[in-house]
Structure 1
Amino acid sequence: MQSASEQWFDEAYYQRYYFDKKTRVVDPAHADRLGAFVCSYLQYLRVPVQRVLDMGCGIGLWQGMVARHLPGACYQGVEYSAYLCQRYGWQRGSVVDYAAPEPFDFVICQGVLPYLSAQDLRRALDNLGRLCRGALYLEAVTHEDYERGTIDEGLTDPRQHRHRTQTYRQGLGRHFIDMGGGLWLSRQAQVPLFALEAPGW
């Protein structure tokens, strides 16, 4: 199977999954808790954050959370959807091959990777390693999430790929240390860790 076509991510897609209160996948209260948790965890770990990349930023939910919890950090939204780039002014790009002059301190990639084929997923995970020198927050539903019934399939886009958890972990493990809670610390980061703080160390 191929990666998602850019035509998928039109106005109708975002109306269905983000703007319509009956069918949206975004719970504002959950998003607020998530932003507070991730940013507080970064501060606890003492990861310095000046530059933030939101890779597949969608409607920009993280922009306000970064402004609230990481004041002074510069936020860069990058999006594959031409519709959203026109509507919000995001920079156009794909997680598979987006390049930047220098890596970012904090990279967010939420709900993007399941839309990629296996080959593009491998390329994207390596690219995230190049783009991040501090910490990565990653959210992606996996094959095992469907098996365990964790996913509400009525709300989830059925066109997503169901990559196995181990595929993500192997790809990420080349560049990051699993810190739990969806947060991954770059192996380039100069952050001292106790052995039991990092489940993936």
Structure 2
Amino acid sequence: MTSASDSWFDEAYYQRYYFDEKTGVVDPAHVARLGNFVCSYLKYLRVPVKRVLDMGCGIGVWREIVATHFPEATYHGVEYSAYLCERYGWERGSVVNYTASEPFDLVICQAVLTYLDAADLKLALHNIGRLTRGALYVEAATREDYERDVIDDELADPRLYRHPAQLYRQGLRQGLTEVGGGVWLSRRLDVPLFELECAGRR
């Protein structure tokens, strides 16, 4: 990966964006609501979840949520930051080229893709689709989010790329169907969907 330097994601970075209440961007209550929504939606859609990959897992905020909703599922955290891998025991890897022996029923990729330039982003989106045999939850701030003042510039990392939403959708639609709320389903997954449950083309 050529977009981001490993030196960015050191102890000081996580102190600022995760642990300091004044400058942090992680709201535990928000994460809990989001996780409950995603997992409940997958239960509604009858997506079987046994293997979970948290790609760019950070401090592991999704681990407890997954354990609550899918107690029999295995959770695997992969992180680019050497500091976090040493601290939490995650596997070191990048969303751009991470490989696994078999794909996952749920892939979580939150606040990771915006650190990639356009070339790496395209590789990452293709890789995510390959790793997902069930559902994907993806969160990435787009150019449109900045233009509509959805993102707080004072809190956001200034190194983030502002890619248009269409760039993300083009990459993900190669093998996934958008079903709303940041949730995508693999086209390899055999679950019935109503037409109006699909936010994009099937």
* TM-score bracket relative to the smaller structure: over 0.9
Residue identity over aligned pairs, in percent, reads 69
- 1:86 alignment counterpart: 86
Matched to 1:39, the amino acid is C
Secondary structure of 1:46 counterpart: coil
Q: How does 1:1-201 map to 2 (within 5 A)?
A: 3-201=3-201
Distance in 2, matches of 1:195 and 1:164, equals 25
Distance in 1, matches of 2:38 and 2:78, equals 20
Secondary structure of 2:121 counterpart: helix
Matched to 2:181, the amino acid is G
Distance in 2, matches of 1:16 and 1:72, equals 34
Per-residue CA deviation, residues 66-88 of structure 1 (Å, 9 max, x unaligned), is 01111111000000000000000
What is the alpha-carbon root mean square deviation over aligned residues? 0.7
Matched to 2:64, the amino acid is G
Find runs of 4+ consecutive structure 1 residues off by over 2 angstroms.
none
Distance in 1, matches of 2:64 and 2:17, equals 19
Structure 1 residue 143: Cα displacement: 0.6
Distance in 1, matches of 2:162 and 2:197, equals 29
Distance in 2, matches of 1:162 and 1:5, equals 18
TM-score (norm 1): 0.98
Aligned residues between the structures: 200
TM-score (norm 2): 0.98
Unaligned ranges ≥5, structure 1: none
Per-residue CA deviation, residues 40-93 of structure 1 (Å, 9 max, x unaligned), is 000000000000000000000000110111111100000000000000000000
Structure 1 residue 175: Cα displacement: 1.2
Distance in 2, matches of 1:52 and 1:152, equals 30
Matched to 1:22, the amino acid is K
Matched to 2:184, the amino acid is W
Structure 1 residue 187: Cα displacement: 0.9
Distance in 2, matches of 1:69 and 1:28, equals 17
Secondary structure of 2:138 counterpart: strand
Distance in 2, matches of 1:187 and 1:49, equals 16
Structure 1 residue 198: Cα displacement: 1.1
Secondary structure of 1:75 counterpart: strand
Distance in 2, matches of 1:144 and 1:194, equals 28
Structure 1 residue 96: Cα displacement: 0.2
Structure 1 residue 199: Cα displacement: 1.5
Secondary structure of 2:188 counterpart: coil
Distance in 2, matches of 1:69 and 1:30, equals 17
